[in-house]
Amino acid sequence: MAMTEFRSYKAEAAVEGYRIVKPGSADYTAVKSTGPTDFNIGTSDSLDKSTGEMVDCAVGDIHEVRLGGTVVRGASLTSDANGKAVSTTTVGHRCIGYAEQSGVVDDVITYIRAPHVL
């Protein structure tokens, strides 16, 4: 699986691996997403990062994310309060893309990046 197109952001707080991230309070900073209406910019790479470290965020086509619940292949993915991906069908939720495979809580799955709002 090709994992390309990453962008680096400075972590304003700790960001664990495979989490959905959103912009921080300043340009080129990022924090873990906290819910389905956040403006999500991508997912963190596999490495845990501390405040002030650079976080490589996946902004390309196909990447990996950690699940916060059961997800079925093809589901629209948004963030839970911990930056983990959960499926949604709720109007107004901002999504990072679609699950390429099914999984359960704490699985790391691939997803097809296609930002959209339901």
Alpha-carbon distance of 75 to 88, in angstroms, equals: 7
Alpha-carbon distance of 64 to 6, in angstroms, equals: 12
CA quadruple 7, 45, 34, 37: dihedral positive or negative?
A: positive
Q: Which residue has the higher pLDDT, 14 or 58?
A: 14
pLDDT higher than threshold 50 for residue 1: no
Number of compact structural domains in the chain: 2
pLDDT in tens, 51-83: 999 999 988 788 899 999 999 999 999 999 999
- Terminal-to-terminal C-alpha distance of the chain: 28
**74 and 110 housed in the same domain:** yes
- Structural domain for 31, as ranges: 6-58
Q: Which residue has the higher pLDDT, 4 or 3?
A: 4
Domain end among 58, 77, 102: 58
**29 and 68 housed in the same domain:** no
Alpha-carbon distance of 98 to 39, in angstroms, equals: 16
Alpha-carbon distance of 1 to 28, in angstroms, equals: 27
pLDDT higher than threshold 60 for residue 31: yes
Q: Which residue has the higher pLDDT, 2 or 50?
A: 50
Angle at 84 between CA 114 and CA 21, to 5 degrees: 60
Alpha-carbon distance of 59 to 37, in angstroms, equals: 18
**18 and 54 housed in the same domain:** yes
Q: What is the pTM of this model?
A: 0.84
Q: What is the CA radius of gyration of the chain?
A: 13
